[in-house]
Amino acid sequence: MIRQVNHCAHDWLISLTQQDDESELDLILISAIQSVLFGTKLIIYINKFLDHTHRPKQINLKKTQSPLILSDDQVDEIIAKVGSNKIHIGEINSKTVTYFPIYHFGDVLGFVLAYGSNEFSNPQISTAVSILNVYANQLFTLFRAKIDPLSELLNRQTFDKKIQEILSGQGFLSPRTPIPADSVWHLAMLDIDHFKRVNDQYGHVIGDEVIILIARLIKNSFRSEDYVFRYGGEEFAILFQCKKSEDAFQVLERLRSAIEEFEFPQVGKLTISAGFTSLVDYEMVPALVQKADLALYHSKNSGRNKVANFDQIAESTNGILITGNDPELF
């Protein structure tokens, strides 16, 4: 039994370190932990943001859907327990459970909750701990690869994949917060107005500071379940949910106003222009970006410091039709 666990652990650890896709990494973790802690029912919670501001959320086990949904208070209580005692035995809903923490450099990122059997052997425990440590390290590596180092937003390389995941409904995390069923995803493109003047007049160090501050203002204006990207240079992209386009417009308008009112050190006042479109039907990513970009260009060409909805522009200009990757104007 010990030899079998150790042999399988070697294969799982290699598989974990070879993954460059977060969803595949989760699948291997689920398979490995289920094999090591066989005969038990499992729940896996993980904070994919790797920070101290977000609460761990459950990984969806798909066909082996976990039998328990924990409240936020229960999650916080478990994190506190495993943070001080490492592996911990407790009770939930009158069932005895074992908690295995997921650590990374001393921080508790999440935990595995196992119940149905609590007589784990030392090889099972050590193997599970090793798997969770390697998983956390690889998760951190993948996370850093998705982050723009200057703004600390998601980077351009992550953008296409995230839209595809949203449109296809993929991903192994259950929703971070309850989202109304009738909500619609929207894509917004934002650009700092006259940013070249900032670099020319104050230098690139001040220009970088402006990007950092605007990135923070954008991130603070959206919820944890939304996605904010530095698309390139002074341009940003946002994927967010609202029930109606009118609501999306108001969200972006509040952001535009907040940036307009902000006092940037040395630079003073700055503004942004924005354009957005809804992701109602499946389309190729370049076509969706092009719609949001056309709305952004409309904002800039009509005076800047504005928010434009692609659908309204298309109606007012007697139609802008996008087929494939190219705009067709008529």
CA distances to 143, 207, 229, 296 from 277, in Å: 27, 28, 16, 10
Average pLDDT over residues 57-75: 74
Q: Which two tokens stand for residue 326?
A: 């190219």
Q: At what angle do helices 22-36 and 2-17 cross, to 10 degrees?
A: 170
Residue 109 and residue 54: Cα distance in Å, rounded? 10
Q: Give the pLDDT confidence score for residue 53 in this predicted structure.
A: 77
Q: Which residues pair with 173 in a beta bridge?
A: 59
Q: Which residues are catalytic?
A: 234
pTM across the whole model: 0.78
Average pLDDT over residues 164-177: 60
Q: Which domains does the chain have, with CATH numbers?
A: 2-145 (3.30.450.40), 156-329 (3.30.70.270)
pLDDT in tens, 205-251: 999 999 999 999 999 999 888 999 999 999 999 999 999 999 999 99
Residue 179 and residue 46: Cα distance in Å, rounded? 19
